[in-house]
Chain A
């Protein structure tokens, strides 16, 4: 039995692509897991969904021009939110409507570009991720992006926590909340493009939301929330990739489904904020 499990764990590691996939996806999961704490506390799930879709044309153009895809993602991610803000300010249309129409517009542009620009981009890789076939240059960029996001979030975490918790107070004591808004937004664009390497555009919002939600049910302390989110995200990636290997199922689907499973466990069994604990009260 023990030997069977060891074999189940070790056999995939004989493939180079599996080792790379496990390493890259763990890194991406850690970064997105950290960011997901801020996203869930700020209530930016819809924003995460919007930005992760809106980066698509940027990624396509960057690939076509042989530029770093992080650059394209950054420009279109931040740009889409600027457009959302502008349309909201200039018209009577409500914010969630504006978000919905802007990000789908950007996404549609991305689809058209993929189909018309001659390149070696595979649409399904962008939509559903391709962590098992990730190239060396993509890995390099993903590592750089991840490092940048980690450093920015850790250095400015106190300001960002305050920004999420009480932006009015932050402003009243002279902190520039506009800068924090764009900082969080930039980090979100970068993390989204890192996340889409592993699970693709359609499911990346899960990476940006689910670990934070899982962790928020399990603790009332921010530092613990971060650890739980990061560990649960990394665990989900590892389990998901193994699972997809042995079942020959969609990698992105397996990763996100594992995350959802962990959330369900936390939803049911979290010691104080879980459903069962609340029932007992």
Chain B
């Protein structure tokens, strides 16, 4: 079923692309004609054709030649078909907005953002492509002998028609290989490896395409995705843009949480005179129902950092001894603020800096720099 979908989906963009790149297809014709006339052993013309570095092209050349050493001259047509995918693939590499793979691109980028373990593949994208290419070229004769005899016939006829036909045939083949790669367990990993680096790190116009910068770009994208997640977790961090400010907020949040832990442990230590905490009684009397009932509602105190507190300090301070339980929240926060005022470095990144004072803090930090 998937194969059918692939062929149908493949047929529609072909027309589009042939309309779009008529000039390219003309060039392509010439290339094919050149291929037909020139014997395949001529390496220099090939390198010119492939627009690849000479070493890679030679690598590409060696395997089909060695594989088809027996079939030399009378099968020139066959040979031509075998060699077509290489320039096609190189053109494919340059052409970034390729219509058929757009769905795949999105899916794979989603996957690869989440999956960490593909990073080594993304780093070595360029050599991998060539190796995959090699693999494809090696596998070509088996598939094209059984699946499509059409290009053999059409090659002899008019080259312009033949070109599009051949393209479609190749496209179908590629997609059959791509979709049906589950059948061929041997090919599976290679196909994945082919799609991932190519899709994941795309170089836009004017960006560097060597493997180092590609890897660097992939790493940066990963970091950005995780920063987004962090931003969602920290309250009041959604509106801020800029890595430094977001990091500021994250630092503030973590520090505030750590100080809350510190303070709460202090408070628990102060509240009960013995270390044993009298937990058994609490656990026996009220722990289970409270644990069940209160924990969902415990989420609401998550919100309390946003409450402005400065005005309420004087109000709550004297109530320390009388009524701890009712005004506990404001009291806790108050004491907490008191706790943190002393060291200057702490107050710089202190807890009471909410989202709107982030810019002020960044300024302070700049001053400190």
Do the two chains belong together in a single complex?
no
Q: Which residues of B contact A (CB under 8 A)?
A: none
